[in-house]
Structure 1
């Protein structure tokens, strides 16, 4: 599963601050400014967590939480709101939100709560996963093999997290592109191929036996030397 969450926040400055704080923890964000935008985005990508505001141009963020729960989608949700009255907190939890953080809040606490929610996400594995001789450190944006390690760009980190957490299963091209660049960013047709080429060189540079294999017509997977490709 990817380290990219959905953020539903209509205030650009707040969205930028939250996104920047999460990025320092190796967590990328797809930012949506309205309920309608978020509804479309969540229909395309299964995020490991959703952070959302209540006061939005086209309604209350609780509407989206209720819609998700009605469809039996259990994506962990953290509500951000200036409303700190007890009944507002209760409304959020009863609508299906998993946590509630009133404004103003510290970014350190926000990051900690998001990471906690991601650990509870369906099928979510370790936030610092391993595969074969390879280890990924999202906080440092590095991958390591033995004593050797190498830095990763933001897109490379998200790609490796999806591939490692797939544990040898095939990750579809569209899922990899969404994890690396989100759905809002325009991506050139060969962007993924270029990024995977760089990752193959980096894997070789730290002497890892793990290989990124193209499953023709399906996507990509990590394979070890003894595994069939």
Structure 2
């Protein structure tokens, strides 16, 4: 989810619609509402934020520090109507991660978020979890060294799980990240359907179930018990040694 902050509804609504077309949820706020939202938002809502877009406002220089206090992992982008060296330097000094001049396509913003994620993770490529690598810039993930084409919702869920690798996340957290905290037109249970389809596709590619699900607790990416040399034939190989062992034991017994 992206948080778009601007006094002009035409700006927030325009970017929110553009993000939606790319499969990302958005929350539209006015500058006077941002600080209050940061204070009352739940940890789950804050964790769902992929980035902040800050339009021009007299309060804007104070926002990056306030945002980083509550959302230290979310990049902050300042959006300017025109280029101004003084304003750009002021926003960088205030803690903004980037300053962009409008109009800027949301795909460029997504690409910059991907660069930010890679820089934070100190990875020159994408962010990886075992045999799964995601990019956070609209590209499909690489799963077991091959690109896996996914519908945008499933891709976003996988990115969110990789982002939170090693941690269990709830259905509500995933829903907030993919559909947005203010979306009342979609039932939260849709997440279960998306994850079911995603699990099946990952299992076919990897040879093991990559998403661990615990009722009432949530979901988490998991690693295989052992390294799989050739995932598509994993089940066949794993069964062969067991059969051989049974034959050998029987042969010894007969002897």
Larger strand proportion, structure 1 or 2?
1
Instruction: Note the residue ranges of structure 1 that are not aligned, 5 or more in a row.
Output: none
Secondary structure of 1:206's counterpart equals helix
After TM superposition, give the deviation of residue 32 of structure 1 in Å.
Answer: 1.6
* Number of aligned residues: 217
After TM superposition, give the deviation of residue 216 of structure 1 in Å.
Answer: 3.1
The yes-or-no answer on 1:144 pairing with 2:146 is no
Matches within 5 A, 1:16-31: 18=15, 28-31=24-27
8 Å contact from structure 2 (residues 46, 71) kept in 1: no
Rounded Cα–Cα distance in structure 2 between residues aligned with 1:135 and 1:118: 12
Rounded Cα–Cα distance in structure 1 between residues aligned with 2:84 and 2:134: 41
Rounded Cα–Cα distance in structure 1 between residues aligned with 2:149 and 2:7: 33
Q: Tell me which residue corresponds to 1:5.
A: 2
Q: Tell me which residue corresponds to 1:192.
A: 191
Rounded Cα–Cα distance in structure 1 between residues aligned with 2:134 and 2:107: 22
Rounded Cα–Cα distance in structure 2 between residues aligned with 1:184 and 1:125: 33
Q: Tell me which residue corresponds to 2:46.
A: 45
After TM superposition, give the deviation of residue 36 of structure 1 in Å.
Answer: 4.5
The yes-or-no answer on 1:65 pairing with 2:64 is yes
8 Å contact from structure 2 (residues 140, 149) kept in 1: yes
Bigger Rg, which one:
2
After TM superposition, give the deviation of residue 129 of structure 1 in Å.
Answer: 3.4
Larger helix proportion, structure 1 or 2?
2
Secondary structure of 1:161's counterpart equals helix
Q: Tell me which residue corresponds to 1:215.
A: 214
8 Å contact from structure 2 (residues 171, 188) kept in 1: no
8 Å contact from structure 1 (residues 162, 171) kept in 2: no
After TM superposition, give the deviation of residue 101 of structure 1 in Å.
Answer: 2.2
Judge which range, 212-221 or 29-38, deviates more.
29-38
Secondary structure of 1:54's counterpart equals coil
The yes-or-no answer on 1:32 pairing with 2:33 is no
8 Å contact from structure 1 (residues 52, 77) kept in 2: yes
Rounded Cα–Cα distance in structure 2 between residues aligned with 1:77 and 1:32: 15
The yes-or-no answer on 1:95 pairing with 2:94 is yes
TM, length-normalised to structure 1: 0.71
Secondary structure of 1:151's counterpart equals coil
8 Å contact from structure 2 (residues 213, 220) kept in 1: yes
Matches within 5 A, 1:151-190: 151-186=149-184, 187-190=186-189
TM, length-normalised to structure 2: 0.65
Q: Tell me which residue corresponds to 2:251.
A: none
Secondary structure of 1:179's counterpart equals helix
Q: 1:8 to 1:224 in 2, by over 3 A?
A: same
Q: Which has the higher contact order (CA 8 A, sep 6+)?
A: 1
Rounded Cα–Cα distance in structure 2 between residues aligned with 1:215 and 1:87: 52
